[in-house]
Amino acid sequence: MKNEVKSLTGLRGVVALWVAFFHFSFFRNECIQNIVGKGYVAVDIFFVLSAFLLTISYSEKFTNLNYNVIDVFYKKRINRIYPVYMVSVIFIALFLVKTSIAGFLINATLLQCFFNPDYLLNVVYWSLSTEWVCYLIFPFMLWIVLHYKIRGEILIIASLVVRFALPYLPPHLYIGSEIPLEVGESPRYLDLPYGLVSLLRTVSSYFLGIGAALLPPFKIKKGNLVIYSILTLFISMLFVEKGLLFIPLLSAFIIKYLYEGRQNYLKVFLETKAVYFLGNISYSLYIIHYMVKKQDFVIVNNYHLNNLLLISLSLLLSYFSYMLIERKMKIFNV
């Protein structure tokens, strides 16, 4: 893999901020709300980006299932996920939410996607659970793809088939489904954060990320015009409910264009210092913003200004989390 692609780090930051606005704010302006209110599909972009970068990084290493390589892969994933995550789980369990030992252990082991969602200590933990499962199976998934020479186009089609089927699957595929939900279910199209359906949603996005990474390099004249067209189509799909089906696919193409290094205005924007910084703290922001949201702080009486201040507080806390935990704490020396 080449050195860090700053535009992809910046993209992660924009996506994390989109999720934060989605959780904090509701806008009466229909145009704005159509964008902010679809922030739940931003999580799929995280999944696609993660799978894309992992494929780029490990496609040569996982041509053979070598124990040492897989061991290092798992340790790096634990180093990436667990420090901030475990600090947040312990903090929530001690100070914010009354939980049982079983609930704490389910969250600590990132197994929430298999259990009743009432066990979630933080709403966003569902995606960390499903991505953790995808991390566990990723070496074997990629080995199968490489060993049997499965084309990227096939994975992309398989992803779309799975995603199309998701809304029609039973929603209660988890342990403890006989117990009524306290958290409630989302009426939004493709907002599927519970149980095995949420895991399939994540796997579908991983297929897209892997598939996009394995596609031949794009060699299209006027490539910048293409990426601007894809971005325009991406925004347009936010205004069509069933169009959300294609948001992860379009994001996969944008990610591939950004990775291949063609200079364009989107890339320049995502590489600016502010957006790049936002990308660096995006993981902490993703976890912390909803912890702040659940406290219902009222700093000022103006709804939107108060939410903006709370998002700013989340950004500040995320900065400290990034500097003091993400950069300093490692579970394994790899």
Amino acid at 273: K
Question: Are the C-beta atoms of residues 166 and 105 closer than 8 Å to each other?
Answer: no
Tokens of 170: 């039973």
Q: What is the pLDDT of residues 272-316, one digit of tens each?
A: 999 999 999 999 999 999 999 999 999 999 999 999 999 999 999
Predicted TM-score (pTM) of the model is 0.96
Tokens of 318: 């995320």
Tokens of 200: 């399939």
Tokens of 320: 């400290």
What's the confidence (pLDDT) of residue 222?
A: 73
Residue 40: which residues within 8 A CB-CB, separation 6 or more? 19, 22, 186, 188, 190, 191, 193
Distance separating alpha carbons of residues 33 and 55, to the nearest angstrom: 34
Average of pLDDT values for 3-19? 95
Between 67-91 and 125-147, two packed helices, what is the crossing angle to 10 degrees?
170
Tokens of 134: 């995808």
What's the confidence (pLDDT) of residue 224?
A: 84
What's the confidence (pLDDT) of residue 1?
A: 43
Each residue of 74-96: b (16+ CB within 10 Å) or e?
beebbbbbbbbbbbbbeebbeee
Q: How far is CA 78 from CA 119, 260, 280, 303, 321, in A?
A: 22, 28, 17, 38, 17
Question: pLDDT grade, residue 14 (50/70/90)?
Answer: very high
Query: How many beta carbons lie within 10 A of that of residue 182, not counting itself?
Result: 8
Each residue of 248-267: b (16+ CB within 10 Å) or e?
bbbbbbbbbbbbeeeebebb
Q: What is the pLDDT of residues 173-199, one digit of tens each?
A: 999 999 888 888 888 999 999 999 999
What percentage of the chain has pLDDT greater than the value 70? Answer: 99
Say if residue 329's pLDDT is above 60: yes
What percentage of the chain has pLDDT greater than the value 90? Answer: 91
Instruction: Select from 131, 111, 134, 113 the least CA-distant residue to 197.
Output: 113
Q: What is the pLDDT of residues 115-129, one digit of tens each?
A: 999 999 999 999 999
Average of pLDDT values for 247-261? 94
Please state the length of the chain: 334
User: What sign does the dihedral 17-18-21-22 (CA atoms) show?
Assistant: negative
Question: Are the C-beta atoms of residues 195 and 126 closer than 8 Å to each other?
Answer: no
Residue 13: which residues within 8 A CB-CB, separation 6 or more? 275, 276, 277, 278, 279, 280, 281, 282, 285
What's the confidence (pLDDT) of residue 218?
A: 82
The more confidently predicted of residues 46 and 226 is 46
Average of pLDDT values for 71-99? 97
Question: Kindly report the CA angle at 113 between 316 and 175, in degrees rounded to 5?
Answer: 140
Q: How far is CA 57 from CA 213, 247, 254, in A?
A: 10, 24, 18
Instruction: Select from 39, 38, 53 the least CA-distant residue to 2.
Output: 53
Burial class (CB in 10 A: 0-12, 13-18, 19+), 129: buried
